[in-house]
Amino acid sequence: MTNPYVNRKYIIISLIIFIFIVFVARLFYMQIIDDSYKYSAQNNSQRRITKYPARGVIFDRNGKILVYNEPAFDLMVIPIQTKAFDTTDLCKILEIEPNILRLILKRARLYSKYKPSVVIPQLSLETTAILKEKIYKFSGFFLQSRTLRKYPKPIAAHLLGYVGEVDEAYIKQNPYYKMGDYVGISGIEKSYEEYLRGKKGVSIYLVDVHNKIVGNFAEGKYDTAAIPGYNITTTIDLELQEYGEMLMKNKKGSIVAIDPQNGEILALISSPTYDPSLLVGRKRTKNYQMLLKDTLKPLFNRALMAKYPPGSTFKMVNGLIGLQEGVINVHSAFSCSRGFSMGNIHVGCHPHPSPLELISSIQHSCNAYYCNVFFKILNNKKYKNTEEAFLKWREYVTSFGFGQNLGTDLSYELKGNVPTNTYYNKYFGKNRWKPLTIISLSIGQGELGITPLQLANYACILANRGYYYVPHVVKEIHDVQHDNNKFLQKHRTLIDPKNFEPIVEGMEMVVKGGTARIAQIDSIVVCGKTGTAQNPHGKDHSIFIAFAPKDNPKIAIAVVVENAGFGATYAAPIASLMIEKYLKRKIKRVNLEKYIFESDLIRR
């Protein structure tokens, strides 16, 4: 018979072992898995303060500062360390209502009881000075140094972009960031965030029961230094950028100027614009809402996102395709009787000599000439039908960078629109559209939508006689290698370079004795083309593209002025003034400059 005492002994031993295992498991969970006790213990005696790096400084192409930093402080809180305090006193210092402070602290607790949260970001120097004197009264609160963006001049807002606080959704996608961190939201700040942001450090301090720092934890053994962000030199010419914004004051539209020899963007203006300092500091949210509600849409980057019919500037594309396809040559001539008429289709034109050959058709911007050219392209007998010819036409057009993203290093670039055969088949029906149906494409109207950046890139292609570099705004990131190979590669159109020569001759004649005489500059040969884009919502848009000098060109430019009428009225003089400013650095045509400066197209 089994001894009952022996069984009892084993039961007691098993129970002791079980209890021991439970205690060990609990200790393991508390010390290794569950951080809350560790945080609680550490946070009673330690304060981990993140050291935020200064963002990289941004320079123009000549070394002039576009953006730098100035010191600021955030008021932080670790909710588990807070004790009863004089709410009225703190609210008075911060200039906020008690209910707002309670809401902020509630959100901080919901985020984490143990981790720091921002109470008030970007305090003024005056408020910071008062808090430094009284911070001992507010257990769990501390000041954390930061930097804010500062702008020497209130220009280039769309190009530079702005910085804003991250939200929880962004943190989930990018674990590097924590609540209270800032990130580039648009422009260069967004595109080059990885380089500009630097690397955060941390300092661990010992604090006493009064929330005062009494020294470094472990003599700073576990501290890490913040590494500043990399400085960036842009391709932008500050003086040209500033001048362009002055020319576009009280006008809607944009200017994009590029060095055709390397794709470097010299100026990128979207108007109306805003002072970039409005989106810095505690007033950023309020100012952003104000700008967002502005009916003139100053936050909208027209240079990259607005789509316009290119108007007569597009005629040269059709001329080049006609030459490449062999349906016309330099001496092909067409008559114009105040326009093009065929069947029940009529496209009007302005008075000019007739008939015209290719070069003079560009000089006088003849609509009838390009209607005939387009008709011949789509009726080319080497293609089975209109649709096949149109597909080839579209292939040529997209090789100019139209209808697609160019791949610039600025965020939010849109691709514009070049219609497809699928679109026309859906709109008109399969085999129910012919060249006359879409004849408006011959003169840059219809369904075409081209961005100002694409128009400036088109001017580069014409300047280079057939190729372009991807437009970009960053020239160098200091002290680090970055992949910029895509900006060094030539992108060629499907047009033979020899076919560009008569087109360039025509553009020279446009300025010498055609529709853009106003764009002439003493001792500089300017090649350009006016455009008037139809606008169903009001007065037509004024467009001009150009490059200069004719040989070995240094600048290519596109100007769009909304609701300003003919291309020669506003866009052409603005472009020529920009060219003169860049190439000569001084303006001699002061009367023309005065006319543009004083023109108010928004309030008239």
Note the pLDDT tens digit of each residue in 216-260.
Answer: 887 778 889 999 999 999 999 999 999 999 999 999 999 999 999
Single-letter code of the amino acid located at 465: R
Q: Counting Cβ atoms within 10 Å, is residue 360 exposed (0-12), middle (13-18) or buried (19+)?
A: buried
Single-letter code of the amino acid located at 426: K
Contact 412, 191 (CB under 8 A): no
Contact 227, 199 (CB under 8 A): yes
Residues of the chain predicted below pLDDT 50: 1, 36-41
> 3-state DSSP call for residue 138?
coil
Contact 418, 399 (CB under 8 A): no
Structural tokens at position 341: 């008429």
Contact 277, 603 (CB under 8 A): no
Q: How far is CA 368 from the centre of its chain?
A: 38
The pLDDT score that the predictor gives to residue 336 is: 93
DSSP state of 384: S
Q: Are strands 182-184 and 163-165 parallel, antiparallel or unpaired?
A: antiparallel
For residues 601 and 604, give the distance between their C-alpha atoms in angstroms, rounded to a whole number. 6
Specify the pTM: 0.87
Buried b / exposed e across 541-569, counting CB within 10 Å, b at 16+?
bbbbbbbbbbeebbbbbbbbbbbbebbbb
Contact 136, 151 (CB under 8 A): no
Q: Give the length of the chain.
A: 604
Contact 568, 530 (CB under 8 A): yes
For residues 73 and 109, give the distance between their C-alpha atoms in angstroms, rounded to a whole number. 21
For residues 234 and 566, give the distance between their C-alpha atoms in angstroms, rounded to a whole number. 34
DSSP notation for 526-592 = -EEEEEEE--TTSSPEEEEEEEESSSS--EEEEEEETT--STTTTHHHHHHHHHHHHHHSS---HHH
SS3 of the chain: helix, strand, coil, percent, to 5:
40, 20, 40
Q: How far is CA 305 from the centre of its chain?
A: 9
Give backbone dihedrals phi and psi of 440, rounded to 5 degrees, phi first: -65, -25
For residues 159 and 457, give the distance between their C-alpha atoms in angstroms, rounded to a whole number. 17
For residues 455 and 441, give the distance between their C-alpha atoms in angstroms, rounded to a whole number. 16
For residues 507 and 531, give the distance between their C-alpha atoms in angstroms, rounded to a whole number. 12
Q: Taking CA 121 as the corner, what is the angle to CA 117 and CA 125, rounded to the nearest 5 degrees? A: 135
Q: Counting Cβ atoms within 10 Å, is residue 420 exposed (0-12), middle (13-18) or buried (19+)?
A: middle
CA distances from residue 354 to 104, 328, 333, 529 in whole angstroms, order as listed: 75, 17, 9, 19
Q: How far is CA 117 from the centre of its chain?
A: 30
The pLDDT score that the predictor gives to residue 474 is: 97
The pLDDT score that the predictor gives to residue 253 is: 97
What digits encode the pLDDT tens for the residues 248-280?
Answer: 999 999 999 999 999 999 999 999 999 999 999
The pLDDT score that the predictor gives to residue 36 is: 47
For residues 184 and 163, give the distance between their C-alpha atoms in angstroms, rounded to a whole number. 4
Helix (H) or strand (E) holding 30: none
Give backbone dihedrals phi and psi of 442, rounded to 5 degrees, phi first: -65, -30
The pLDDT score that the predictor gives to residue 5 is: 56
Q: Cβ of 423: how many Cβ atoms within 10 Å?
A: 12
Structural tokens at position 67: 């953006």
The pLDDT score that the predictor gives to residue 22 is: 76
* Domains of the chain, start order: 65-234 (3.90.1310.10), 238-274+302-473+491-598 (3.40.710.10)
For residues 399 and 328, give the distance between their C-alpha atoms in angstroms, rounded to a whole number. 20
The pLDDT score that the predictor gives to residue 442 is: 96
What torsion do the CA atoms of 243, 244, 246, 252 make, to the nearest 10 degrees? 180
Give backbone dihedrals phi and psi of 366, rounded to 5 degrees, phi first: -80, 120
Of 240, 246, 244, give the one whose Cα is nearest residue 264: 240
What torsion do the CA atoms of 99, 105, 109, 112 make, to the nearest 10 degrees? 150
Helix axes 590-598, 238-247, angle to 10 degrees: 60
Q: Which residues contact 562 (CB under 8 A, 6 or more apart)?
A: 251, 252, 253, 535, 541, 601
Q: How far is CA 309 from the centre of its chain?
A: 21
Strands (E), 117-228: 117-123, 141-150, 163-165, 182-184, 201-207, 213-216
CA 72, 78, 83, 88 torsion: positive or negative? positive
Structural tokens at position 131: 């808090």
The pLDDT score that the predictor gives to residue 199 is: 94
